[in-house]
Amino acid sequence: MIKLDVNGKVHELDVSPDTPLLWVIRDHLKLMGTKYGCGIAACGACTVHLDGQPVRSCQTPVSSAAGSKVTTIEGVQGPEAKAVQEAWIAAEVPQCGYCQSGQIMAATVLLRQTPKPTDAQITDFMNGNICRCGTYQRIRAAIHQAAAALHKG
């Protein structure tokens, strides 16, 4: 059995240790906001937080997440997450939406680490999160908007 803390709730799971965290999240815990895109850590659709750091859950064995705090799009909280989600809505960022939970999970960590990122810092940090609809301009605008909302005054 593997014990896994996801969004503050501890689950005991009868899964093979090398099962990708993504499939535990989706198939066992039925949290469907985290998406499968490429399966090879190349697109970012499956991004979750492991102790506050963004990881590709498609390439993270569940055993390596045991003992850490896993956060998915369903459970992400805090001022940065709230500001990002509000900016995403205001800027109407999503098109098909498939990549967006991964984008939001990445952007939240970016703003925790870099409160007022430049365009270059946004591009650098968000580089591994692919959007097939090409919403990159709106993502960048929304990140600036979220940063401004967090640090106004």
54 is an interface residue for ligand FES by CB under 6 A: no
Taking CB under 6 A as the binding criterion, the range among 77-85, 98-106, 119-127, 142-150 that sits at the site for ligand FES is 98-106
Q: Is 36 in the site for ligand FES (CB under 6 A)?
A: yes
Backbone angles phi, psi at 3, to 5 degrees: -95, 130
Least gap, CB of 71 to ligand FES (angstroms): 16
Nearer to ligand FES, 25 or 81 (CB): 25
Binding residue for ligand FES (CB under 6 A) from 39, 50, 82, 144? 39
Count of residues near ligand FES by CB under 6 A: 23
**96: contact with ligand FES by CB under 6 A:** yes
Using the minimum distance from each CB to ligand FES, give the nearer residue, 59 or 114: 59
Report if residue 136 touches ligand FES, rule: CB under 6 A. Answer: no
- HEC assignment per residue over the chain: CEEEEECCEEEEECCCCCCEHHHHHHHHCCCCCCCCCCCCCCCCCCEEEECCEEEEHHHCEHHHHCCCEEECCCCCCCHHHHHHHHHHHHCCCCCCCCCHHHHHHHHHHHHHHCCCCCHHHHHHHHCCCCCCCCCHHHHHHHHHHHHHHHCCC
What does the binding site for ligand FES look like in residue numbers (CB under 6 A)? 36-39, 41-46, 56, 58, 94-100, 131-133, 135
